Amino acid sequence: MNKNLQDPTAHTSARRRLVRGAFAAPAALALYSGSAFAATSLSCVAKEVRNPTYPAVITNLSPSDTYLRVRLHTLAGRSTTSAWIKGSDITALQLAGTPSPYITSSQWQCFSVGLSKVKIDTEIVTPMAGTIYNGQPSRISNGALPRQDGSYVAIRIDISGKIVGVVGVGISTPSTSAVHQSCWTSFKPSP
Amino acid sequence: MQRFARVEGLLVEPIGHLWAAFSPATGETALLNDESASILEVLEIEPADTAAVCAVLSSDSGIAPDELFALVDGSWQQLTEVGLVRELHVSRNHPQ
């Protein structure tokens, strides 16, 4: 019999491993599972999607809300104003590792119709709420560009983390919700 | 004298020069050094108080029980908090 083989059934004893003449302070270090934190974050997102929150547009300059939001850009006429969402404002909020947002950096989305006609680059169009345009809108009469007036709108996100729109327009995808900043913070994994 | 027992279903396995102990009571795993694991081994025989544990460990380590007492006595709180041991409460009518 090969004596070098260890008996696989032999029980390792901590007491046998104690060094004679030395005894350190007993120590126990609890290990915490990361799945617990992940479960918390996922349940947070699931809760947001299950009970969607649809806040109104926020118009104060120093809001105390906690929604993940983007500014609205307005294009004012004589008596009417249209509101637009800048694509780069949305893409700036994309979380690493999540699908690309519903809009690209160079695109603009009409949020509310006020002006019957606007110019997109060189083309004159009739804006429709929710429609995405490949360029920046401007006034036909004087070429004025959209400007920020302090209004915000909350973004919507689906369960995969993709930004699928903003609250108020183009809600065609079910099971999406405006996401609170607190939820997004817990959802975001550490780098 | 306070007596302590291992939590039921406790699993202790060596990992390198440390020990991993899973507690069904907390659902968590703790890393132990040889000293903590030795205390749990002593309690595997039967519940014991600090003096009894020190007497056994004294024979293993060659250190006088009196010198071990403060270290072992000071470890109960941590071992209890991570769900590895529990304190036995002695009843006057039904001593354990």
Q: What ipTM, to 2 d.p.?
A: 0.88
Question: With an 8 Å Cβ cutoff, are A28 and B41 in contact?
Answer: no
Which amino acid would we find at residue B72?
V
pLDDT of residue A65: 46
User: B79: part of which helix (H) or strand (E)?
Assistant: helix B76-81
Contact A28 B63 (CB under 8 A): no
Q: Is residue A169 part of a domain?
A: yes
Is residue A63 a part of any domain in this protein?
Answer: yes
- State both tokens at A174: 């079910």
For residue A20, being part of any structural domain is answered with no
In a domain, A44, yes or no: no
* Domain around A151: 57-183
Question: How close A48 comes to chain B (CA, Å)?
Answer: 28
Do A54 and A178 meet the contact criterion of CB atoms below 8 Å apart? Answer: yes
How many domains in chain A? 1
A39 assigned to some structural domain: no
Cα–Cα distance list, A161 to A69, A164, A184 (Å): 15, 9, 9
A62, HSE (Cβ side, Cα atoms, 13 Å)? 0
- Asked if residue A48 is part of any domain, the answer here is no
**Chain centre to alpha carbon of residue A31:** 30
pLDDT band at residue B89 using 50, 70 and 90 as cut-offs: confident
With an 8 Å Cβ cutoff, are B31 and A31 in contact?
Answer: yes
Q: Return all residues near A77 (Cβ < 8 A) that are at least 6 apart.
A: A114, A115, A139
Q: Looking at the predicted structure, is the pLDDT value of residue A84 above 90? A: yes
Q: Tell me, what's the pLDDT at A152?
A: 81
User: CA distances (Å), A149 to each of A71, A81, A98, B49, in order?
Assistant: 8, 11, 30, 73
The answer to whether residue A109 sits within a structural domain is yes
Q: Which residues from A are below 8 Å from B76, CB to CB? A: none
- Per residue in A91-111, pLDDT (tens digit) is 988 877 888 999 999 999 998
Tens of pLDDT, residues B17-67: 899 999 888 888 899 999 999 999 999 999 999 999 999 999 999 999 999
**Which is higher by pLDDT, A59 or A132?**
A132
- Structural domain includes residue A37: no
Residue of A nearest to B26 (CA): A30
pLDDT for the residue numbered A149: 76
